[in-house]
């Protein structure tokens, strides 16, 4: 499985988080968001293309604990983290190329103090 949803397959996701290298891509969405609907298929394909990254699809209404105290103002909102910390936190249009560029250059982006914090075992 390449795309994880904590509301549906939390045990598999927690096992993956325990074994991965800290490279995580989280899409925060809502079931009612039509843009998120368009993004989900793209996100699933990217998860297949980047097996070293853990891709997580979080519906903020089903799994609000994965968002912490943060608010999502625009959907979808992406969180990209590596072992050093958060590299990107913000809205992302459903364009595969834009997310691919972020992932390819994640290690060069500055670590940010924004977002819901380190994605661990919730």
In a domain? residue 12? yes
Q: Report DSSP state, residue 23.
A: -
pLDDT of residue 2: 83
Give the CATH number, domain containing residue 32.
3.40.30.10
Backbone angles phi, psi at 60, to 5 degrees: -65, -15
- Which are the contacts of 84, defined by CB distance < 8 A and separation ≥ 6? 107, 111
Rounded to 5°, angle at Cα 19 from 18 and 23: 95
Per residue in 37-96, pLDDT (tens digit) is 989 999 999 999 999 999 999 999 999 999 888 888 899 999 999 999 999 999 998 899
pTM listed for this prediction: 0.93
The label of the residue with tokens 């661990």 reads 120
Specify if 63 maps to a domain: yes
Count Cβ neighbours within 10 Å for each residue of 66-98 and write b for 16 or more, e otherwise: bbeebebeebbbbbbbbeeebbbbeebebeeee
Domain extent for 20: 3-72+89-108
Of 87, 90, 91, 98, the C-alpha closest to 42 is 98
In a domain, 45, yes or no: yes
């Amino acid at each position: 499985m390449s795309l994880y949803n904590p509301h549906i397959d939390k045990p598999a996701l927690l096992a993956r988080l325990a074994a991965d290298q800290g490279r995580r891509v989280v899409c925060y969405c809502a079931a009612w968001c039509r843009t998120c609907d368009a993004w989900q298929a793209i996100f699933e394909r990217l998860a297949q293309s980047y097996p070293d990254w853990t891709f997580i699809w979080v519906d903020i209404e089903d799994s609000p604990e994965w968002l912490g105290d943060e608010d999502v103002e625009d959907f979808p909102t992406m969180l990209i983290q590596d072992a050093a910390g958060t590299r990107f936190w913000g809205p992302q249009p459903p364009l595969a190329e834009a997310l691919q560029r972020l992932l390819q250059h994640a290690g060069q982006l500055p670590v940010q103090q924004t977002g819901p914090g380190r994605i661990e075992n919730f």
